[in-house]
Amino acid sequence: MKTSFAVSFLCFALSAGTFPAHAETSKTLTDEQLGQMAERYFEQHPDKLGRIMATWLSEHPEFLVTASQNLQQKQEMEQRQVMQSLAWKERATLLDPATPSVGPKDAKVALVMFFDYQCIYCSKINPVLEQVIKANPKVRFVFKDFPIFASRWPVSGYAAAVGETIWQQKGAQAYLAYHNAVFSTGKNEGALTAQDVNQAADKWLSAQQRKTVDKAQPAIQANMDLGQRLQIAGTPAFIIMPQNAGDAQAVTVIPGSTTQDILQKAISQAEKG
């Protein structure tokens, strides 16, 4: 008990009369000596520790808040490190050339996004991503359809299948135009309809061609399986990584919405990797 918490806690115990014989002496002791005094006392009187601790915490709730925040930050950091390692392990699948993408195929850096067309946060981040794409013509942007809401809102899966079909039949620019058109409807969380999807796809797929979108299901299922292996639990999720050289330390995993600045910093880090 040599931390500032221990010293503060001991001072509280002294003021409460736990160590009345040492109350005056404690004023001249160092933090380390105070900590040692506390350790010895509570080893001899373990029954008093819980009661004093409960009283102290009730009068210092900010300690619980700080402890909770520190624990959460530590857990998030550990989780990101795990996901970072997993992403590097799955690099070949993440960067599969068969996946919808825009930008140079041989780019030094790739930004991979897992998304769902019914996800409100994906919708909100899309204009940001458009700006990042414009600002980074040398980066490859990879789009992993990840329709996690399809069981609740089937249009989620339909929109993903239409997008994959446009990519397979019409290429990158058609896919990106469709992708942005769906998000520009501003409809999500169940509001997006099949009609909205069809209108976004009209320029690229005929009604007859849209009947074949089920052929895209294997690609979508592969994304779902990949996301599970990467421990991606929601959308959006971003992985920014070198395409060739580098190592796992150059990978940035962002499990959630973000900002243009953070994405740009992650791209710069991957470029150095």
pLDDT tens-digit readout, 150-190 = 999 999 999 999 999 999 999 999 999 999 999 999 999 99
- Cis upstream peptide for 255 (omega within 30°): no
* Least confident window among 52-61, 176-185, 254-263: 52-61
Highest mean pLDDT among 47-61, 200-214, 243-257: 200-214
Residues 28 and 138 in one domain: no
The residue range of the domain holding 193 is 86-272
Highest mean pLDDT among 38-42, 116-120, 249-253: 116-120
What was the pLDDT predicted at 58? 72
Backbone angles phi, psi at 17, to 5 degrees: 90, 15
- Please indicate, yes or no, if residue 69 is contained in any of the structural domains: no
Pick from 42, 59, 76: which residue ends a domain?
59
What was the pLDDT predicted at 76? 57
Residues 170 and 231 in one domain: yes
pLDDT, average across residues 34-57 = 68
Residue 75 predicted with pLDDT over 60: no
Q: Which helix (H) or strand (E) holds 240?
A: strand 237-242
On whether the CB atoms of residues 254 and 269 are closer than 8 A, the answer is: no
Across all residues in the chain, what is the average pLDDT? Answer: 85
Backbone angles phi, psi at 129, to 5 degrees: -65, -35
Q: Give me the number of domains the chain comprises.
A: 2
Q: Sign of torsion, CA 156 115 197 164?
A: negative
Report the distance separating Cα 106 and Cα 271, nearest Å.
Answer: 13
Region for 115 from its dihedrals, namely left if φ exceeds 0, alpha if ψ lies in -120 to 50, beta otherwise: beta
